Amino acid sequence: MASQAVAKAVPEGAQVQKWKVFYTIREARDLIGATDRSLAILNALLSFHPEMELSGDGELIVWPSNEQLMARANGMPATTLRRHLAVLVGCGLIIRRDSPNGKRFARKGRGGQVEQAYGFDLSPIVARAEEFEELADAVRAEKNAFRLAKERLTLLRRDVVKLIETGIEENVPGNWGRVQQSYQVIVGRLPRSAPRQLIEDICCDLHGLYTEILEVLESFAKTQNLDANESHSGRHIQNSNPDSIFESEDGSRKKNEAGGSVAETDNVRSLPKRELPLGIVLDACPNMRELAQGGEIRHWRDLLATAELARPMLAISPSAWRDACEVMGEQHAAITIAAIYQRSDQINSAGGYLRSLTEKARDGKFSTWPMIMALLNAGLKAQKTPETSAGPSKEPDDDRPGLQVSDSLLKSLQKPRR
């Protein structure tokens, strides 16, 4: 009944090329619900229409017998023919116009014109021609999107493998075994024949892994360049960039103090203006030595490389680390990571904590000095506690000398905090 209602709605004067619309139907057959066998029968039915065009004003009923249809359908069995004729009717591509006795025939007038025909009505093809074209466009767009997704997947797989090989060959600090395992887990979700949505999801995961590896390699290359500049000029790595963000923040901080803005400078007015020595940072954050490759951190670049190792262990995203480097400078961002790693058992969300400190540093309200001094003070208290309980004769577990600080620094640490 729905197909008949559509057929009655054929606009007057509508015309379509029967083979052109047939190719459109064949392209969109999955969305229409047709099968290959049913389309073979539709092709045979269209061949019984004498004109090349199907017109809404003309007679669109064909009345071939089953024997004629089976012959033009390459000898299809009668039972298969009847089953797929029902499929064409169910898809709304044809309409049955049955005679009283169920046979297909046509009555002609004296002039040879068809007055009454019983068979299969092809008018739904004319009425739904635009719909079929839209469905075919959707199928073509889906095929194109699927092709692009497969191409992107191939490129990402190739690029990730090349980046991992580069990191291993260049001895870039990092847990490359874990990276390879992550890659295998992502690719292992890909079946032999995957839908487009699954391919796109895997592409998103691979792109995230690709971005993370690329950032590690770029950071390593940048560190190598800084090392080359340091060895060439004989200057400290921190002084290789005189216009760093941290120094500009220090200058703006002094300007605010001169302007008398007490609310913004109350937390940083009494902070030291000199740089933190690497030795003090390592005494305050001894866990970084255990994480460092070779167990030694001799230069700031070694601390930066170790911070790159600690970042994924703390579940800090690459974007949070990048923002911290841009705002604080790479050296102070590495010091902040070292302090967070030292207190990792006391921090629920290291990534959120780093972003909070980055925002404070952006406003000139954060310095690494108080953080390192607090860790030093905690280390001194931890050293005094076992000495008091076990006696002065207890030897340390390792051969590394104990924490050594000057008397003036010890006095400043023991002062009550305001």
C-alpha–C-alpha distance, residues 36 and 43, integer Å: 11
Q: What pLDDT is stored for residue 226 in this prediction? A: 63
Query: Would you say the pTM of this structure is higher than 0.85?
Result: no
Residues of the chain with confidence (pLDDT) below 70: 1-12, 57-58, 111-112, 115, 225-274, 383-418
Residue holding tokens 């299809």? Answer: 76
- DSSP strand pairing (114-121 vs 61-62): antiparallel
C-alpha–C-alpha distance, residues 291 and 51, integer Å: 83
Residue holding tokens 């995230």? Answer: 208
3-class SS of residue 96: strand
Phi, psi of 120 (to 5 degrees): -120, 125
Phi, psi of 363 (to 5 degrees): -90, 5
Cα distances (Å, whole numbers) of residue 220 to 158, 246, 341: 21, 21, 20
The answer to whether the CB of 195 falls within 8 A of the CB of 153 is: no
Domain boundaries in the chain?
Answer: 2-127, 141-234, 245-414
pLDDT in tens, 189-237: 888 888 999 999 999 999 999 998 988 888 888 877 665 554 544 434 3
State the number of CA atoms in the 13 A half-sphere of 171 facing the CB. Answer: 2
Q: What pLDDT is stored for residue 87 in this prediction? A: 92
Q: What pLDDT is stored for residue 235 in this prediction? A: 39
Angle at 53 between CA 52 and CA 57, to 5 degrees: 140
C-alpha–C-alpha distance, residues 25 and 28, integer Å: 5
pLDDT in tens, 326-348: 999 889 999 999 999 988 888 88
C-alpha–C-alpha distance, residues 286 and 403, integer Å: 10
382-415 in b/e burial notation, b at 16+ Cβ within 10 A?
Answer: eeeeeeeeeeeeeeeeeeeeeeebeeeeeeebee
Q: What pLDDT is stored for residue 413 in this prediction? A: 52
Q: What pLDDT is stored for residue 401 in this prediction? A: 42
Which residue pairs, CB below 8 angstroms and at least 24 apart, start in 228-232? 230/301
Among 164, 138, 129, CA closest to 25:
129
Q: Which CATH number applies to 2-127?
A: 1.10.10.10
Q: What pLDDT is stored for residue 27 in this prediction? A: 93
